[in-house]
Amino acid sequence: MQAAIPFAPQLAVSPIAEILWLIPALPVMAAGVAALLKQSRRKISATLAIGSMSFSLLLSIVAFVHVLTGWAQGFAVREVVNFTWIQVGAASVDLGWVLDPLSAVMLVMVSLVGLLIFIYSTGYMAHDINYTRFFCFLSLFAGAMLGVVIANSSLLLFMCWELVGLTSYLLIGFWYQKPAAAAAAKKAFLTTRIGDVFFLLGIVWLFAQTGTLLFYNHGTGSIESASLSVLLTQPAALGLTAAGAIGLLIFAGAAGKSGQFPLHVWLPDAMEGPTPVSALIHAATMVAAGVYLIARVYPLMQAGALAGGTTMALTVVTWVGAFTAVFAALIAVAQNDIKRILAYSTVSQLGYMMAGLGMGGVAVGMFHLITHAFFKALLFMGAGSVIHGCHDEQDIRRMGGLRSDMPLTFLTYAIGMLALCGFPIFFSGFWSKDGILEAAQHWSVAKAPFYMLVFGALLTAFYMTRQISYVFFGQWRGKKPAHESPAVMTVPLAILAFFAIALGAIGTPVWPWFHDFLEGRATAFDLHGFAEPGLLIVMLTSTVVVLLGLFLGWRLYGDRSPRPEEPDALERAIPPVWAELRDRLYVDEFYGITVIAFYAWWARVADWIDRRVWGGAVTAVASVFALWARLNRFLDTNVVDGSFDKGCDELSVSGGLLARVQTGRVQTYLRILALAVVALAAILIWSSRA
C-alpha cells in the first residue's frame, strides 16, 4: 500500500465546479416545464427529460475527468462552492456543493444509469396515458438525486433527500388507480419518514454542535478535523461520543432509504410501481442514497477510531448490514414474483454495501454500490422486458423457456445474474463482493459478519439460479406466447450488461484503481495485490460458495418446469421453513400486530376520550347554559318585555320626530351644517376675543 497523497485543499474553484449546480438543475427545470405541458405532448416531455439528462451526464463526465486529471497530477481534488442562503444574526444558513472523487463517481453513475433508464422508459411506458406526467416525475427524481449527490450542506442534502422521498412516493404510486400501488406508495413514504426523522435530528444536533451546516468548508466544515475533534469531546448517552450518536442518527436515515433491516419493509412492496421506476429507484439511485450518505459523512462515522480500529457507529452499521444481507437473501429464496425476488436481493446487496462501509471503508462499499447499480438496473430492466414480453405477467411460475423467445433479454439477464452472484473473475460483482468479504475477514471486532456474508453469497447464487431457470429454462407455461422487446429497451440492456462486466476491471486487488481514486492514493498495477494475506483464501471461498449456490440451484430447478400449481421443489424438501420464508418471515405481520395495532388502539383511546370525557364536559356546560337560558326566557316574557315594548314605542315616537329633519333635501342639510359652523365660529371668536 502506498502512502496517501497529502490532501491539498484547493481554494481556487475550477469553472466546472462553479457550474456543478447545473447538473441537478437541468432535470428539475425539465420537470418544471413538463409539469406545464398538456398530457398529449408526449414527445416533448420525453425529449426534454432525456435531453436534460444527457446534458447532466455530459457535465458529470466533464467533472469526473476534471477530478481524474487532478488526481493524476497527484492531489485529491475537493472543490467546494458555498454561499449563504439565509443570514439570521450571527448564525447563517449555508448551502453549497462539493466536487470530490466520491461525488464525481456517483454523479457519473447516477446520470448514466438514469439516462439509460429514461430511454428504456420511452419503450416501456409507450402505452401509458400519463406518459408526460411520468417523465415529469422521473426528471424531478433524477434532479433531486443528483442534488443529494453534490450537496455539501446537510440542509441542502436533506432537502434533496426529502424531494427524493416525495418523488419516489409519486413514482411508486404512479398507477394510483391500483389500490396496491397506492398503499405501497404510502407505505414507502411513511417508512422512510421514520428514518428521516432521526436523520433530521442528527443534522440538527450536528448543526448545534459545530455551528455550521457545511460538510467541507476549507477546514471549518462540520465533518472536517477541527469540528470532529470538538464532537469527540462531547459525551453523549451510553458511552457514545456526540460524533458516534450523530453518526447513528444519520445511519437511521440511511437505513430508511436503503431499506436496512428494521425499515426494509417498504422496498419489496414498492415493486408495484412501473418497472423503470423499480430499476431507477430501487436498484441504482434512491436506495443507494443511504449508502452514499454514510460514505459522505464517513469522517464522522470514523471519528475517534484508532488506527485500523473501528467505532461504535461503524460496528452498528456493519451488524445491521450483515444481518440484512442474510435476512433478505433468505426471503428472496422463496418468492415467486420476479420483481420481488430482485427487490429482496437488492435489500441484501445493500446490506453488503453497508457491511462493506462498516468494515472496509468508503471505497469498498462504494465500489459495490457502483457495480451493483449497473447490474441490478440491468436485472430490473431485464425483468421489465420479460414482463413486457409476457404481457404483464410477473409470476415466474407462469413463465419459462423464454431463452428462445427473447434471446437478447436472456443474454443480458444472464450476465446480470452472474454479476450479482459474483461469478469469478469475469464479472464486476465478484470483485466488489470480494472486496467486502476480504474486509470482513480482516475485521478486528468479530468474525461472524464474514460467515454471514459468505452464507449470503451462497443464497444469492441459489435464488438467482432458481429464478433464471424458472424464467428462461424449461418450457413456456404462460397463456399467450412471449415476444422480444423493442430495441429501445434492449439496447440499454446491452450497454448495462457491458458495464456489468467491465466495471470489475477497475477494482481488482491487482489494480485497485477505484479504491485509490476514492481515497486519493497513487495507484499502480502490481501482481503482489494477490499476495496480500488471506486474499486468495477469500477469493477461493467465494468462488466455491458461488459455484455451490449455482449447483444447488440448478440441481433443484434446472431445466425442468413444474406446473404453476404444483409446489416448489424446495417446498417439498422443507415445507415449514419454506412457508416462513414465503411469508417474508412475518415482518409485516409483526409490525401489523405491534406498531400499527398500537396506533390503532391509541386512536381508539383518543376517540373514546374525545367522546366521553370532553364531550361529556361540553354537554354538561351546555345544559347548564340551557337551564339558565330557560330562566331568562321566563323573566323576559313576564317581566322585561312589557317595559321594553313601552320603551320601544317611546323611541319610535321620538324617532318619528327626529325623522322630520331628514327631509332628504340637500339644502336643509347644508343649512344645518352652515348654522353649526356659525355657532362654532362664534364661540371660537368670542373665546379668543378677550
Q: Which residues bind other proteins (CB under 8 A)?
A: 663-668, 670-671, 674-675, 677-678, 681-682, 685, 689
Smallest gap from Cβ 31 to other proteins, in A, equals 40
Calpha distance 378→122 (Å, rounded): 16
Give the distance from CA 207 to its chain's centroid.
Answer: 22
**Backbone φ, ψ for residue 262 (5° rounding):** -70, -25
In contact, 591 and 265? CB cutoff 8 Å = yes
CA distances from 134 to 27, 43, 128, 140 (A): 13, 12, 9, 10
Q: How far is the CB of 682 from other proteins (least distance, A)?
A: 6
DSSP class of residue 559 equals T
Q: How far is the CB of 670 from other proteins (least distance, A)?
A: 6
- Our CB check for other proteins shows the closer of 634 and 669 to be 669
User: Which lies closer to other proteins via its Cβ, residue 629 or residue 681?
Assistant: 681
- Can you tell me the distance from the alpha carbon of 428 to that of 420, in angstroms, rounded to the nearest whole number? 8
Distances (CA, A) of 36 to 41, 43, 52: 10, 14, 16
Residue 477: CB atoms within 10 Å = 18
Instruction: Compute CA 687 distance to the chain's CA centroid, rounded to the nearest angstrom.
Output: 85
Nearest approach, Cβ of residue 654 and other proteins (Å): 22
Alpha carbon distance 366, 288 (integer Å): 9
Distance CA 451, CA 52 (A): 45
- Name the residue among 198, 140, 129, 197 with its Cα closest to residue 167: 140
CB 34 within 8 A of CB 64: no
The grid cell for 288 is 443507494
> At its nearest, how many Å lie between other proteins and the CB of residue 673?
9
Separation of alpha carbons 607 and 65, rounded Å: 61
Closest distance between other proteins and the C-beta of residue 655, in Å? Answer: 18
Q: Quick one: cell of 490?
A: 434492449
Grid cell in block for residue 516:
485509490
In this complex, which beta carbon is closest to other proteins, that of residue 651 or of residue 678?
A: 678
Among 183, 352, 330, 173, smallest CA distance to 258 is for 352
Least Cβ distance, residue 679 to other proteins (angstroms):
9
d(CA 128, CA 241): 52
DSSP letter, residue 90:
T
Supply the minimum distance, in Å, between the C-beta of residue 660 and other proteins: 13
Least separation in angstroms between residue 680's CB and other proteins is 9
Angle formed at CA 542 by CA 534 and CA 531, multiple of 5 degrees: 25
The residues pairing with 241 across neighbouring beta strands, listed in sequence order, are 235
Nearer to other proteins, 528 or 665 (CB): 665
Pick the closer one to other proteins by CB: 638 or 687.
687
The nearer residue to other proteins, 627 or 674, going by C-beta atoms, is: 674
Secondary structure in 3-state letters for 149-187: HHECEHHHHHHHHHHHHHHHHHHHHHHCCCHHHHHHHHH
Q: In the complex with other proteins, which residue's Cβ is closer, 648 or 679? A: 679
Q: Are 434 and 538 a contacting pair, CB within 8 Å?
A: yes
The SS3 call for residue 257 is helix
Q: Which three cell numbers stand for residue 595?
A: 406498531
Identify which of residues 8 and 675 has a Cβ nearer to other proteins in the complex: 675
Task: Specify the residue, 620 or 683, whose C-beta has the smaller distance to other proteins.
Answer: 683
Give the nearest distance from C-beta 667 to other proteins in angstroms: 5
Q: Rounded to the nearest whole angstrom, what is the least distance from the CB of residue 37 to other proteins in the complex?
A: 34
Q: Which is nearer to other proteins, 197 or 676 (CB)?
A: 676
Q: Which residue has the cell 453518526?
A: 247
The residue among 502 and 674 lying less far from other proteins, judged by its C-beta, is 674
Comparing CB distances to other proteins, the nearer of 12 and 661 is 661
Closest distance to other proteins from the beta carbon of 657 (Å)? 18
Least separation, in Å, of the C-beta of 392 and other proteins? 59
Cβ-based nearer residue to other proteins, 640 or 684: 684
